[in-house]
Amino acid sequence: MTDQTRAYEALMAFQRTTEALAQVAGRLGWDQETVMPEGAAPQRAEEAGAMEAVLHTRRTDPRISEWLAVIDDDALDDAGRASLRLIRRSHRRHCAVPADLATALARLTSRSQRIWAGARADEDLAAFLPVLAEVVRLKREEAAALAEGGAYDDPYDALLDDYEPGATGAGLAEMFDEMRPRLVALRERILGADHRPPGLSGRFDEARQMDLARDLASRFGYDWAHGRLDRAVHPFSSGSGLDVRITTRSDPGDPFNCIYSTIHEVGHAAYEQNIRRDFLLTPLGRGVSMGVHESQSRIYENQLGRSRAFTGWLFGAMRTAFGDFGIADADGFHAVVNALRPGFIRTEADEVQYNLHIMLRFDLERALIAGSLDVKDLEEAWNSRFSADFGLRVERPSQGLLQDVHWSVGLFGYFPTYSLGNVYAGCLHAAMRADLPGLDAALAAGDPAPATGWLREKVQRHGGLHAPREVIARAAGRDAGPTPLLDYLDEKFSAIYGL
C-alpha cells in the first residue's frame, strides 16, 4: 500500500466518523423542535455546545492537513477529487473560527431558538431582542474570522458561503435587482385584475389533514422506511442518507398550510434520500448547497404541486377527505391554491410575492452583519420596508420580525438561497417539461413520479459531487438565470387571472 493510499483511506475513515457525529448533532436539533420537553432547554444548550466542540476539534484536526498534503488529487476518481475539495473547504473554514466561538454559538443558538418560540407565541418581541443581539454579535465575529486575510471581500459573503458556496452578496443583489421590476409589475397587474379567486370555507379536521399529508408524501416519493413525519412550529427536514425526517404543521382553517408544507419538505427529504448510497457518510452524501436544496423543495411544491394538472387531482382528494368546502370545480380550486393576496407571512406567500419577502430579509441581514443596522432598530427597519414593499402595516411581531426561526439559530446568509432555489427550479422545470411531454397526464392522475424520477437522476443522486451551479447547468442544459422562472410566473398567473 502506498503512502497516498494509506493517507486517503485514513482521511476518509476519519471523515466518516465526523459525518456520523454531525448526523447525531442534527438529531438533537430535530428532537428539540419536535418532542423535547420544554424544561430540557438549558441542558440541551449545553449538549449542543459540547457536540459542536467535539465536531470543531475533529474538523480542525492537524492530521487533515497532513493527509491532504500526501494525496495526489489526479490519482483519484471524480468522487475522490470532489470529496477532497469539500474536505479542504471545510477544514479551511473551521480552522478560521476559534473553537470557543464555535462552541459559544452552538450553545447560544440552542437557547435563542427556545426564547424565540416563546416570544413568538406571546407576541413579546422585547423578550427576544437581547438574545438576538448576542447572536448577531457572535455572527459578526464569525464572519470577521472567516474573512480575515482577504478570504472574502465582504464579511456577509463568508456566512453566505456556508449555504451557497461561490455565491456573493453583490451577485445576489444584482440578480434580485433584475427580478424585482418584473415581479412587482406582475403583482400590480394581478391586483388590478377583475377576477378574484374565492376563499375556502368551513373547518378542516386536522387528523384528516395529516392523513392527506402522509398520502401526498408517499406520492411524491418519500421513503417511509427511512423517515417519519411529525409536527413543528416551523416545518423543516432533517438528516440525510438512511434517516431523513420531515415535519409539517396544521391549521383547521387552512389545509393548504399542511399540504404544501409537507410537499415542500418532501422535496428536501427526497434530495437527501436519493443521493447515491456509496456516498453515505462522506462529504458527498448530502445536498451540495441550500440553493440546490431549495430548488427541489420549491419545484415539488410549486411547479408540480400547484400545477393545474395536479391541483385537478388534489381537488378530488380534498372533496373525498373533507366534503364540500365551497369551491365549485377544479379550475376554481386551482385559482384558489395559487391566489395572490397581500399578506405578512413568507411561508404562506404565493409564488409571485414570495421572492419579495426574501429580498426584504436579505437586505436587512446584510445590513446587520455589516454593522450599518443595529438589532434595536431592526423592528422599525422591518416594518417600514414591509409597508413600502407590500402596502401593509405590521400589527404584531408574529406578522413581522418574529415570524421566522432563522436568525434565532444564527442562519445569516440562508434566506437568499430560497430565491436562488426558485431561480434554479425555474431552469429545471423548463428542461423537465421539454424532456417529459406527457407529464401533465401523470400529474392529473395524482402521479408525480415521472417528474420526481427526472429530478432524482438529473440532480438528487449526485449529492455533493458537482458545484452548485454546475449541478443546475448539467441538469437544465443552461447556466442558471431568472428568466425561465419569470416567464413561467407570467404565463401561469396571466392564465389564472385572465391578464
Active site residues: 265
Distance CA(301)–CA(153), nearest Å, equals 35
Cell 459525518: give the residue: 19
Do the Cβ atoms of 112 and 132 come closer than 8 Å? yes
What cell does 255 get? 389545509
> Which letter does DSSP use for residue 300 in this model?
I
Do the Cβ atoms of 189 and 499 come closer than 8 Å? yes
Do the Cβ atoms of 203 and 325 come closer than 8 Å? no
Cell 448577531: give the residue: 136
Beta bridge partners of 230: 247
3-state secondary structure (DSSP) of residue 244: strand
Distance CA(394)–CA(476), nearest Å, equals 40
Do the Cβ atoms of 425 and 303 come closer than 8 Å? yes
CA distances from 374 to 119, 136, 360, 387 (A): 19, 9, 16, 20
CA distances from 156 to 93, 163, 172, 366, 402 (A): 14, 12, 12, 6, 22
116-122: long-range contacts, CB 8 A cutoff, minimum separation 24: 116/402, 116/405, 116/408, 117/233, 117/405, 119/397, 119/402, 120/233, 120/397, 120/398, 120/402, 120/403
Do the Cβ atoms of 401 and 379 come closer than 8 Å? yes
> Which letter does DSSP use for residue 125 in this model?
H
Contacts of 121 (CB under 8 A, 6+ apart): none
Distance CA(38)–CA(17), nearest Å, equals 31
Comparing CA positions, the residue from 149, 147, 441, 148 lying closest to residue 157 is 147
Contacts of 225 (CB under 8 A, 6+ apart): none
For β-strands 237-240 and 243-248, DSSP reports them as: antiparallel
Neighbours of 134 (CB within 10 A): 17
- Edge-first strand order for the sheet with 237-240 is 229-231, 243-248, 237-240
